[in-house]
Structure 1
Amino acid sequence: MEKQILDKNQWHSIRTNLNNNYDYSDDWKNIIDLFRTRIENYYLSPINRVKVPGILKGEGFTIMTIQCALIEMFATFKSGQIHNYRKNGNSPSFEYKLADHCFIKFLQTEKIFENHFYRYTTAGVKILNDPFKAKDFYSSVRCGLMHEARTKGNWVINAKRLYNGNEHIFLTEDNGTIRVDRNILSRLLNEYLDNYLLELSAETQIGNNLRRLFARKLDHLYDIVPDSNNYDWWQDY
């Protein structure tokens, strides 16, 4: 029976065929579909199981911790960046040492975060950190949860019992308290995944480049040693 989630053996068996061959194909479609199932089964479905309708008894910390891990993962897959806490001057440019390097940039560039961590004026000028600072979300929510199992400062995690289904603003401020609606953020992260996989499947030059970065991340995901001499996606350009 064919496995439904992308694993190391599957990637090993097909990666040579995809090397320097980024035009969209049945092989790429298969890998991308399996990757989607991996994210859904390992992250999105568990969030939904924790998010029991009508309970609202502390599960927000667990959900938001998973969401922050997803944000960093989404950011690095799209950019092809690899975490290396030993990064130095001789390291390739696609490596990063501190998570804020990719996490904050992702919050300030992706469409789902518009009117949260950036906005556009009527003249089309992009204003960063308005209405909320991306760095504050990173330090008070992401780092607070990851390192201390709490949010810090005036940031709290909330959810409602009922939604109309089209809410897109997950950050609000009330008397100095910044409230993060983890249910709306879940919907936005699902929306991001759908859009990213559409971009990843596009028969365009942008799609080709995203697939190259995606392949590098899959190598890293499965602990395959970088090999820039034989695999194009490890070349630093």
Structure 2
Amino acid sequence: MFIAPNFTANQWKNLKLEQNEQDWQKAIDIFKSRIESRYIEPVEKLLEIEDELKPSERRFGFTILAINLLLMETIQAFKDGLETTDGQSKKVFKDFLKSSPHFSPYFTTDSQRETFYKAFRCGILHQGEIQSSALVWSIGELYERAEGMETLNRNAVHKAIKSDLEDYINGLRNPASESLRAKFRKKMDFLANRQEQVVN
């Protein structure tokens, strides 16, 4: 069973991560391929389709956001070494907003993070709509609060999540990042073992 394009769970288990830095770099490439193929590339295709349209004519905002909101939780689960986020989604999502240098400037209080989690993450993923009066747009700041109106720029969200992913990957590539790597490996080992169980 594949855990990334053209890479199986069994191949993952054969990596010599304890003694081989080259295999570590390969492991990180596998993760990068997994995330880009499942999250980044589909969003880029949607953005490309809408690129020539006027902002008022763009219609893929909710789909773009849904994918990126899932990716936020996914990245944080890897950072924390969580095998699953069952029963922890709120904490994991809010931790991402708080710790990410690309998102934290827009969500400086726990109340703002809580509201974003409920209105956007839960609203879009569970109800197919935002559970507030905030608007989804494709221009402007990532998140704007002005004169009683709130606006989220889904394009800026995607750009920021790509930067966060790049930061995380760069951290993993550093052999000195022992704790980060240990948590990453715990998560990947779990995914590989689960895929094998599905097959068997």
TM bucket, shorter chain: 0.7 to 0.9
Aligned ranges 1:60-99 → 2 under 5 Å: 60-83=61-84, 85=86, 97-99=87-89
Which of residues 91, 98, 104 in structure 2 aligns to 1:101?
91
Structure 2 residue 182 is the aligned partner of structure 1 residue 212 = yes
Q: Distance in 2 between matches of 1:180 and 1:159?
A: 8
8 Å contact 1:5–1:38 — kept in the other structure? Answer: no
Structure 2 residue 175 is the aligned partner of structure 1 residue 203 = yes
State the TM-score, normalized to the length of structure 1: 0.72
State the TM-score, normalized to the length of structure 2: 0.84
8 Å contact 1:72–1:102 — kept in the other structure? Answer: yes
- 2:112 is aligned with what amino acid? K
What secondary structure is seen at the aligned counterpart in 2 of 1:157? strand
Task: Please state how far the C-alpha of 1:180 moved relative to its aligned partner.
Answer: 0.7
Structure 2 residue 144 is the aligned partner of structure 1 residue 172 = yes
8 Å contact 1:24–1:201 — kept in the other structure? Answer: no
Q: Distance in 2 between matches of 1:75 and 1:100?
A: 11
More displaced 10-residue stretch of structure 1: 215-224 or 134-143: 215-224
Aligned ranges 1:11-22 → 2 under 5 Å: 11-14=12-15, 17-18=16-17, 21=18
Gaps spanning 5+ residues in structure 1: where? 86-96, 119-127, 161-166, 226-237
Task: Please state how far the C-alpha of 1:83 moved relative to its aligned partner.
Answer: 2.3
Larger relative contact order (Cα-Cα within 8 Å, sequence gap ≥ 6): 2
Task: Please state how far the C-alpha of 1:74 moved relative to its aligned partner.
Answer: 0.6
CA-based RMSD: 2.2
8 Å contact 1:159–1:183 — kept in the other structure? Answer: yes
Higher helix share: 2
What secondary structure is seen at the aligned counterpart in 2 of 1:108? helix
What secondary structure is seen at the aligned counterpart in 1 of 2:132? coil
8 Å contact 2:143–2:152 — kept in the other structure? Answer: yes
Q: Distance in 2 between matches of 1:152 and 1:84?
A: 22
Instruction: State the percentage of identical aligned residues.
Output: 25
- 1:68 is aligned with what amino acid? L
Which of residues 86, 93, 114 in structure 2 aligns to 1:135?
114
